[in-house]
Structure 1
Amino acid sequence: MSLAPRAVVVHRRTEYEELIARHGSRGQAAFFLSTRGRTLDEVEQRHHRALAALAEVAAAVPLDWRRSRVERADLDRFLFTPEDVLVVVGQDGLVANAAKYLAGQPVVGIDTEPGRGLGVLVRHRAADAARVLRAVAAPGGDRHLEERTMVEAVADDTQRLLALNEIYLGQHSHQTARYRLAAADGAEESQASSGVLVGTGTGATGWCRSTWLERRSSLDLPGPGAPAVAWFVREAWPSPLTGTGQVQGLLAGGERLTLTVESDQLVAFGDGVESDALRLTWGQTVRVGVAAERLRLFG
Structure 2
Amino acid sequence: MSLAPRAVIVHRRTEYEELLARHGTHGQAAFFLSSRGRSIDEMVRRHDRTRRALREVAAAVPLTWRSSRVERGDLDRFLFAPEDVIVVVGQDGLVANTAKYLHAQPVVGVDTDPGRNPGVLVRHRCTDTAALLRAATATGGRTDELTMVEAVTDDAQRLLALNEIYLGPPGHQTARYHLGPDGERDQGESQASSGVLVGTGTGATGWLRSLWLERGSTAALPAPCEERLLWFVREAWPSPATGTTRVTGELGRGQGLRLTVESDRIVVFGDGMESDALELTWGQSVRLGIAERSLRLVA
Number of the residue aligned with 1:237: 237
**Inter-partner Cα distance in structure 2 for 1:274 and 1:105:** 24
Q: CA deviation at 1:184?
A: 4.9
TM-score by length of 2: 0.97
Number of the residue aligned with 1:249: 249
Consecutive unaligned residues of structure 1, counting only runs of 5 or more, are none
Q: CA deviation at 1:36?
A: 2.5
* Deviations 1:21-43, CA, capped at 9 Å, x for gaps: 11111111111111232111111
2:180 is the counterpart of 1:179: no
SS in 1 for 2:212: helix
Q: Which moved more, 1:219-228 or 1:120-129?
A: 219-228
**Inter-partner Cα distance in structure 2 for 1:288 and 1:44:** 42
Number of the residue aligned with 2:22: 22
**Inter-partner Cα distance in structure 2 for 1:36 and 1:134:** 47
Number of the residue aligned with 2:195: 195
**Inter-partner Cα distance in structure 2 for 1:47 and 1:93:** 17
The AA in structure 2 aligned to 1:109 is G
Contact 2:182 / 2:287 at 8 angstroms: preserved in 1? no
Contact 1:175 / 1:194 at 8 angstroms: preserved in 2? yes
2:286 is the counterpart of 1:290: no
**Inter-partner Cα distance in structure 1 for 2:121 and 2:29:** 31
Q: CA deviation at 1:138?
A: 2.4
Contact 1:166 / 1:208 at 8 angstroms: preserved in 2? yes
Contact 1:183 / 1:246 at 8 angstroms: preserved in 2? no
SS in 1 for 2:209: helix
Contact 1:267 / 1:277 at 8 angstroms: preserved in 2? yes
Q: Which moved more, 1:50-59 or 1:233-242?
A: 233-242
2:243 is the counterpart of 1:225: no
The AA in structure 1 aligned to 2:231 is W
User: Relative to 1, partners in 2 of residues 1:287 and 1:185: Cα closer, same or farther, differing over 3 Å?
Assistant: closer
Structure 1 runs of 4+ with >4 Å offset:
none
Number of the residue aligned with 1:164: 162
Number of the residue aligned with 1:115: 115
Consecutive unaligned residues of structure 2, counting only runs of 5 or more, are none
**Inter-partner Cα distance in structure 1 for 2:156 and 2:297:** 28
SS in 2 for 1:225: coil
Aligned length: 297
**Inter-partner Cα distance in structure 2 for 1:261 and 1:137:** 45
5 Å-filtered alignment, 1:249-288, equals 249-288=249-288
2:152 is the counterpart of 1:147: no
**Inter-partner Cα distance in structure 1 for 2:292 and 2:36:** 46
TM-score by length of 1: 0.97
Percent identical residues: 70
* Deviations 1:172-191, CA, capped at 9 Å, x for gaps: 12431110001258321000
Number of the residue aligned with 2:68: 68
* Deviations 1:174-226, CA, capped at 9 Å, x for gaps: 43111000125832100011110000110111111111110101112211111
**Inter-partner Cα distance in structure 2 for 1:96 and 1:231:** 18
SS in 1 for 2:267: strand
**Inter-partner Cα distance in structure 1 for 2:294 and 2:4:** 23
Contact 1:184 / 1:251 at 8 angstroms: preserved in 2? no
SS in 1 for 2:243: coil
Number of the residue aligned with 1:94: 94
**Inter-partner Cα distance in structure 2 for 1:232 and 1:184:** 16
* Deviations 1:242-286, CA, capped at 9 Å, x for gaps: 111111111111211001101110111100111111111011111
**Inter-partner Cα distance in structure 1 for 2:35 and 2:223:** 44
Q: CA deviation at 1:137?
A: 2.2
